[in-house]
């Protein structure tokens, strides 16, 4: 019984503490007698008591580090504060453990020096408008520099660019003036378009009025022409009927008398003279008789 208890104690003291379960997205760096032995990935593992030890527990997830603002000087001698955010991932736990002392501090210092070198080649305006270029250059340089440390830099983002206060005020004035200039241009363009639309409207109105007058005149002329044609047609039909009736001279004379009687009843002062000079006497007699009857 005592032996069993002793064995149980030995198991509890030596065996159980040396059974290790590595979780997902983690890696353990194992040393044996002070030298690198192996790297454990997720799963169940057992280390030799007193000989093996876990040198470092490394996360394989992507790490985000927001570094404090760094003073940098542009090509045109403007000092500004720029802070960056670095996204990196440990790809080799062994190199990360043995490659460099304090890798996070090394990345921060490397980021600061790289940023100063890049900004030193740019002027202020270029710095403010070239974030993508700065990010791309920094990522490339940092990724290459941290590769021996078992680190892969995925992204680098310039978070804030803070110029001196006087520069900010000058930039604000410039932006305000630019906005006012654009506003005036837009207002002038609006007035121009409005004037053009009004002129086009007046032009179209005048054209429509002219076309309407033209159509009215055409319709009036067509009506007069149609009326004249009808009158001429009626006269022609009358003459045709007389011809078809074979009217003789006595009928035509009677029609002439009836016409003269209508004239005599009116207030007309005109004198009608027959074209046939031989009938002047008979025409005068007829006129006298008509006058006597009126008396």
Q: Are residues 52 and 67 in the same domain?
A: no
Q: Model's pTM, two decimal places?
A: 0.56
Last residue of a domain, one of 163, 198, 230: 163
In the prediction, which pLDDT does 272 show? 52
In the prediction, which pLDDT does 277 show? 43
Last residue of a domain, one of 59, 82, 100: 59
Which CATH number does the domain housing residue 76 bear?
A: 3.30.479.30
Is residue 277, in this structure, part of any structural domain at all?
yes
Is residue 142, in this structure, part of any structural domain at all?
yes
In the prediction, which pLDDT does 197 show? 87
Nearest in space to 103 (alpha carbons), one of 153, 138, 39: 153
Provide the residue-wise pLDDT of the chain in tens; the chain has 295 residues.
677 777 777 666 777 788 889 999 999 999 999 899 999 999 999 888 889 899 999 999 999 999 888 888 888 888 888 989 999 999 999 999 998 888 989 999 999 999 999 998 888 888 888 889 999 999 999 999 999 999 999 999 998 888 878 777 777 777 788 888 888 888 888 888 888 888 888 888 888 888 888 888 888 888 888 888 887 777 777 667 766 665 555 555 555 555 555 555 555 445 555 555 445 445 445 444 554 444 4
In the prediction, which pLDDT does 294 show? 45
Domain containing 43 equals 2-59
Is residue 178, in this structure, part of any structural domain at all?
no
In the prediction, which pLDDT does 289 show? 52
Total domains present in the chain: 3
Last residue of a domain, one of 113, 140, 163: 163
């Amino acid at each position: 019984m005592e032996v069993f208890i002793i064995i149980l104690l030995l198991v509890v003291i030596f065996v159980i503490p040396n059974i290790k379960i590595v979780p997902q997205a983690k890696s353990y760096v194992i040393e044996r007698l002070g030298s690198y032995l192996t790297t454990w990935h997720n799963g169940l593992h057992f280390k030799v008591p007193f000989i093996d030890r876990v040198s470092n527990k490394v996360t394989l997830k992507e790490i985000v580090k927001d570094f404090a603002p760094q003073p940098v000087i542009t090509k045109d001698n403007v000092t500004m504060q720029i802070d960056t955010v670095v996204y990196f991932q440990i790809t080799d736990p062994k190199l990360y453990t043995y490659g460099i002392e304090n890798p996070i501090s090394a990345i921060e210092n490397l980021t600061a020096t790289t940023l100063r070198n890049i900004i030193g080649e740019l002027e202020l305006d270029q710095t403010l408008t070239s974030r993508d270029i700065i990010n791309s250059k920094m990522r490339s340089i940092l990724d290459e520099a941290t590769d021996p440390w078992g680190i892969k830099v995925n992204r680098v983002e310039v978070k804030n660019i803070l110029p001196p206060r006087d520069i900010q005020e000058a930039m604000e004035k410039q932006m305000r003036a630019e906005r006012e200039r654009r506003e005036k241009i837009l207002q002038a363009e609006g007035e121009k378009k409005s004037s053009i639309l009004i002129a086009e409207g007046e032009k179209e109105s005048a054209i429509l009025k002219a076309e309407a007058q033209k159509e009215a005149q055409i319709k009036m002329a067509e009506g007069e022409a149609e009326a004249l044609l009808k009158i001429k047609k009626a006269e022609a039909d009358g003459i045709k009927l007389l011809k078809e009736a074979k009217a003789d001279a006595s009928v035509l004379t009677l029609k002439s008398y009836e016409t003269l009687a209508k004239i005599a009843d009116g207030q007309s002062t005109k004198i009608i003279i027959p074209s046939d000079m031989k009938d002047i006497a008979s025409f005068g007699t007829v006129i006298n008789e008509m006058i006597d009857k009126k008396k």
